[in-house]
Amino acid sequence: MAVSRFTELPVLQRSVIILKDVLDESLADIASLLDLTVDSVKAHLARGRERLRAINAATDQPPVARRTSEEVNRYVTLFNQRDWEGLRVLLAGDVKLLQSTYPVRAGATDVGMFFGIYARIEGVWLVPAWLEGREVVAVFESRTDPKPSYLMWLEWREGKISFIRDYRYVRYVVTDAELVMAPDAERDRLVGKA
């Protein structure tokens, strides 16, 4: 279940469900911990479960693929062609790069070195995608991988990249993500088109 759906529950319902359905605590222990009666715990559990079913039913429609923005399409194309200088030209002067626990890189020169790292890695392939309505870039370590290994998220300002968030070092982010690949992106990835 997506965390974003779970967080739509009121705090007590969420707490009771975690304690009971995830941690398998007894109703009496939950009541004691949350300073509730056992009947109140049962009520919160029933309402929370019902609310989760309703949330899931409302959001279970398959996500729809969207058209790729020109900016992301250009970034992906240049990356897949290994045109590192072309990518550096896309960087805003004050661009920032965030990679998990590494210090934030700032400025086109410093962030431009980021592409030098990828220049030394064979087989990485990018595909435009969407995650919960946000345009992202799916990163495959090989064109033949069935799922992306991680994501990149780009922000743009006046046609230039102003922010890159690279999830290479926090791959768990993509584990259960409901990614929607851009139309034709899968075909192009498998046949090697850039």
In DSSP terms, which residues pair with 91 in a beta bridge?
A: 161
Mean pLDDT value of segment 12-24: 84
Residue 105 counted as domain residue: yes
- Assess if residue 11 is contained within a domain: yes
Regarding whether 184 and 139 lie in a shared domain, the answer is yes
Has residue 172 been placed in a domain?
yes
Give the tens place of pLDDT for each residue, 32-74: 999 999 999 999 999 988 888 887 777 655 555 567 889 999 9
The sign one gets for the Cα dihedral 70, 125, 140, 165 is: negative
Residues 75 and 41 in one domain: no
**115 and 173 fall within a common domain:** yes
The last residue of one of the domains, among 59, 85, 100, is: 59
Average the pLDDT over 146-152 and give the result. 88
Residue 158, pLDDT score: 93
Is the domain of 99 the same as that of 178? yes
Q: Domain with 167 in it: what CATH number?
A: 3.10.450.50
* The pLDDT value given to residue 89: 95
- Do residues 92 and 166 share a domain? yes
111 and 138 in a single domain? The answer is yes
Q: Are residues 77 and 153 in the same domain?
A: yes
End-of-domain residue from the set 35, 59, 83: 59
Q: Residue 125: is it exposed, middle or buried by C-beta count within 10 angstroms (0-12/13-18/19+)? A: buried
- Are 97 and 140 in the same domain? yes
Residue-range definition of the domain harbouring residue 177: 70-191
Residue 99 and residue 31 share a domain: no
Distance CA 83, CA 70 (A): 17
Residue 65 covered by a domain: no
Give me the number of domains the chain comprises.
Answer: 2
Confidence class for position 1, pLDDT limits 50, 70, 90: very low
CATH code at 13? 1.10.10.10
Q: Out of 7-16, 113-122, 182-191, pick the least confident.
A: 182-191
Would you say residue 64 lies in a domain? no
| Whether residue 179 sits in one domain with residue 113 | yes
180 in helix, strand or coil? strand
Regarding whether 78 and 55 lie in a shared domain, the answer is no
* Same structural domain, 81 and 24: no
Helix (H) or strand (E) holding 86: helix 84-89
Q: Which of 37, 59, 81 is the last residue of a domain?
A: 59
Pairing state between β 91-98 and 105-106:
antiparallel
Percentage of the chain lying above the pLDDT 90 cut: 40
> pTM for this structure?
0.63
Average pLDDT, rounded, for the chain: 83
Confidence of residue 171 (pLDDT cuts 50, 70, 90): confident
